[in-house]
């Protein structure tokens, strides 16, 4: 018995009518970066189906070095596997989604942060940088971070959005942009 037992039963139901998606370009030509918060599931919030879009999730939906590395690899993979399939010189859009009521917002409080640093062994500065207190501000900063990363292929655009837990509504903070060096 594990907590997975009822979910395994749900999976059995799912598998009965399942049709596998082929390995190809994500149908929405989109890659989502968002928070691991269980109230912010992009499949449900954005109505994503299997094969629509890869999703990277971490605390806050922050653009960390690990996220940049994954996006760089996915960009390389997309170019290798599917680069010749499209006439346009665009691969996909990265949508960074932060949200209101994010629990990482507690990290903006120095006392809470000190306790978190002691409990986890993570550096105070790293925890401070991870906080999403104002999702509109952090999503803008993270879009910039990704756009200025030297490893991001210029064929990838980046947009920023904020999901409101209270209303279920997603609003766009930063329209999709390509890195400045595009075309250079
Ligand atoms: Zn969150």
Please report the beta strands in 36-184, taking only residues with DSSP state E, as ranges in sequence order.
55-58, 92-99, 156-164, 169-177
How many angstroms separate the alpha carbon of residue 165 from the centre of ligand 1? 10
Give the distance from CA 127 to its chain's centroid. 19
How many angstroms separate the alpha carbon of residue 17 from the centre of ligand 1? 33
Helix (H, G, I), strand (E, B) or coil at 98: strand
Digit-by-digit pLDDT tens for the chain (184 residues) are 899 999 999 999 999 999 998 888 899 999 999 999 999 999 999 999 999 999 999 999 999 999 999 999 999 888 888 766 655 577 899 999 999 999 999 999 999 999 999 999 999 999 999 999 999 999 999 999 999 999 888 889 999 999 999 999 999 999 999 998 655 4
How many angstroms separate the alpha carbon of residue 39 from the centre of ligand 1? 8
How many angstroms separate the alpha carbon of residue 161 from the centre of ligand 1? 13
Whole-Å CA distances, 50 to 4, 34, 85:
21, 17, 21
Residue keyed to tokens 């928070």 = 35
Residue 136 token pair:
């509109």
Kindly report the pTM of this predicted structure. 0.92
Residue 44 token pair:
């449900």
For the chain, helix (H) and strand (E) counts, in that order, are 6, 5
């Amino acid at each position: 018995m594990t907590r997975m037992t009822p979910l395994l039963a749900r999976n059995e139901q799912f598998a009965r009518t399942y049709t596998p998606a082929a390995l190809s370009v994500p149908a929405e030509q989109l890659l989502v970066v968002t928070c691991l918060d269980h109230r912010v599931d992009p499949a449900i919030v954005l109505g994503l189906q299997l094969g629509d879009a890869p999703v990277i999730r971490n605390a806050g939906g922050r653009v960390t070095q690990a996220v940049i590395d994954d996006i760089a690899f996915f960009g390389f993979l997309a170019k290798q596997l599917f680069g010749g399939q499209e006439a346009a010189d665009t691969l996909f859009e990265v949508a960074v989604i932060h949200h209101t009521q994010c629990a990482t917002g507690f990290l903006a409080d120095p006392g809470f942060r000190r306790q978190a640093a002691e409990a986890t062994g993570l550096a105070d500065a790293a925890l401070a940088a991870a906080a999403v207190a104002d999702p509109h501000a952090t999503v803008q900063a993270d879009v910039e971070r990704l756009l200025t990363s030297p490893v991001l292929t210029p064929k990838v655009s980046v947009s920023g959005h904020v999901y409101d837990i209270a209303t279920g509504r997603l609003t766009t903070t930063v329209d999709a942009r390509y890195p400045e060096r595009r075309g250079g």
